[in-house]
Amino acid sequence: MSAKKLIAANWKMNGSRALVEAVSQQLTSINATVDVLICPPATLLAHFPVSEHFSLGAQNISEHQQGAYTGELSAGLLLEAGASFVLLGHSERRQYYAETDALVCAKLQQAVAAGLTPVLCIGETLAERQQENTQQVIAKQLAAVYASHPELLVKSVIAYEPVWAIGTGESATPEQAQATHAFIRAQLALYDSAAAAKVRILYGGSVNAANCQALFAQADIDGALVGGASLKPDEFMQICQSAKD
């Protein structure tokens, strides 16, 4: 696992210039032993100040480098807008926009080629967990990218987000999350054992100030992908502070 945890904020289709200012100001006192990533709507990227206290990320990119794709944003455009990371394969993209494993793989390749660090989101639905198919689902999502492109793993971050825990107030127990993270690391080792030992694997799914410390204490949990709580500057700061070494 990584020695330095990463706390990533996914604002989804929320936020404002006022929130940009509040979060930016709050993070000026962040401890240097934790990395912080903010992924706002793309329209807000340029409103963040350049800061040594946090990095910026996009929530999605096109699978195309450029061209006649109205409404899409390429990896290069988002890099110029200030992003250095990008979330890919989030369950909401898979569910609402029918993104397939193959499409996610294509986007991840675009991200790395442009110089963005992809945060690959994976996870199972409630039905899949109840059918005890969690490992099969995750193995398939990982294989779709790294079985054919193992060289991309060293440039990636992984985010495990059980779909049943996103925005529901329900979170996997620390023990459940650790067991799945350990499985993910073992699967990644099939493709690049050295990279698998170092890659940061984040937990996401109703992470908040009350449950984050127990999650961060687990051996294979290297940080968090935070949704709703990241829109509350004080609570997000508490989560970041809980992740310091």
Reported as a pLDDT band with limits 50, 70 and 90, residue 61 is very high
167 annotated as ligand-binding: yes
Does residue 53 carry a catalytic annotation? no
31 annotated as ligand-binding: no
Does residue 149 carry a catalytic annotation? no
pLDDT digits (tens, 9 = 90+) for 12-23: 999 999 999 999
Of the candidates 191, 195, 203, the one whose C-alpha atom is nearest the C-alpha of residue 162 is 203
Q: What pLDDT is recorded for position 1?
A: 57
Q: What pLDDT is recorded for position 245?
A: 61
Q: Degrees (nearest 5) of the Cα angle 38, 40, 43?
A: 135
Of the candidates 96, 178, 91, 87, the one whose C-alpha atom is nearest the C-alpha of residue 126 is 91
12 annotated as ligand-binding: yes
Query: At residue 205, does pLDDT exceed 90?
Result: no
Per-chain mean pLDDT for the chain: 95
pLDDT digits (tens, 9 = 90+) for 99-136: 999 999 999 999 999 999 999 999 999 889 889 999 99
Domain holding 222, by residue range, is 5-242
Q: What is the CATH number of the domain that holds 146?
A: 3.20.20.70
Q: What pLDDT is recorded for position 17?
A: 98
Reported as a pLDDT band with limits 50, 70 and 90, residue 174 is very high
Q: What pLDDT is recorded for position 129?
A: 87
Identity (one letter) of the amino acid at 200?
Answer: R
Exactly one of 90, 92, 99, 181 is catalytic; name it: 90
Of the candidates 64, 67, 48, the one whose C-alpha atom is nearest the C-alpha of residue 56 is 48
The two three-digit tokens of residue 24, written as one number: 């930016």
227 annotated as ligand-binding: yes
228 annotated as ligand-binding: yes
172 vs 73, more confident:
73
Q: Degrees (nearest 5) of the Cα angle 57, 79, 77?
A: 115
Can you tell me which residue has the tokens 């990119």?
61
Of the candidates 109, 111, 60, the one whose C-alpha atom is nearest the C-alpha of residue 88 is 60
β partners of residue 173 = none
Averaged over 181-200, what is the pLDDT? 98
30 neighbors 239 (Cβ within 8 angstroms): no
Exactly one of 92, 128, 161, 181 is catalytic; name it: 161
Query: What's the predicted TM-score (pTM) here?
Result: 0.95
Cβ neighbours of 31 (radius 10 Å): 12
Reported as a pLDDT band with limits 50, 70 and 90, residue 2 is low
CA separation for the pair 34, 241 (Å, rounded) = 8
Question: How many separate domains does the chain show?
Answer: 1
242 annotated as ligand-binding: no
Contacts of 23 (CB under 8 A, 6+ apart): 9, 38, 233, 236
